[in-house]
Amino acid sequence: MNRSVPIFKFHAKDPANRHMGFIEFNNEKFWIYDLNKFYGELGYTHEMQLDGVMPDEYVWDTFVRHKATRNCQSCYQLHIISFLFKYSAVFYQKHGHEGGDWLASEAEKRAACRVEHCRDRK
Ligand SMILES: [Zn+2]
């Protein structure tokens, strides 16, 4: 089984289409038609919205900000891959098989997340 998992990158806005985000890996691009669903998958809640926390702010604070000292990339990557599995038919069609391995591999890493201040696992 190939356990090497590509790095998935999230973009909140496509320069050509500002209403859609996308996920990119290995030079492939997968559209996010409903950004709210994506943020929900990452753990963003309606309560946070009521508290005035912007979704991009949540993503930054939870998964990106302290990258050097509290790298939570496996938590982040797992959510992104799960999202693609659930909502991208194109992804499922192209990568459904190996995607299962990627998901399992990231889930393992996430379960072993020892990042002291991991906000995603609190
Ligand atoms: Zn974590």
User: What CA–CA distances, in Å, run from 107 to 36, 78, 84?
Assistant: 23, 6, 15
The number of folded domains in the chain is 1
Residue 2 within any structural domain of the chain: no
pLDDT at 36: 93
Residues less than 5 Å from ion ligand 1, measured at CB: 72, 75, 113, 115, 118, 120-121
- CA gap 53, 47 in Å, rounded: 9
Q: Is residue 15 one of the residues assigned to a domain?
A: no
Note the pLDDT of residue 73.
Answer: 83
Q: pLDDT averaged over the chain?
A: 87
In a domain, 119, yes or no: no
Mean pLDDT (whole number) for 42-60: 94
**Residue 53 forms part of a structural domain:** yes
In a domain, 20, yes or no: no
Q: Is the pLDDT of residue 23 over 70?
A: yes
For 31, list phi and psi in degrees, rounded to 5: -70, 145
57 inside domain: yes
pTM, to two decimals = 0.88
Dump pLDDT digits (tens) for 65-105: 766 555 578 889 999 999 999 999 999 999 999 999 999 99
Confidence check: pLDDT of 31 > 50: yes
Burial label, 80 (beta-carbon count in 10 A; 0-12, 13-18, 19+): buried
Structural domain including 75 reads: 34-111
Stretch 26-37: mean pLDDT: 93
Q: Is residue 27 situated within a structural domain?
A: no
Q: Which residues are paired to 31 by β-bridges?
A: 22
Is 25 inside any structural domain?
Answer: no
Q: What separation in Å is there between the alpha carbon of 96 and the centre of ligand 1?
A: 25
| pLDDT tens per residue across span 96-119 | 999 999 999 989 888 888 777 777
Residue 80 CA to ligand 1 centre (angstroms): 14
Q: How confident is residue 1, by pLDDT bands cut at 50, 70 and 90?
A: very low
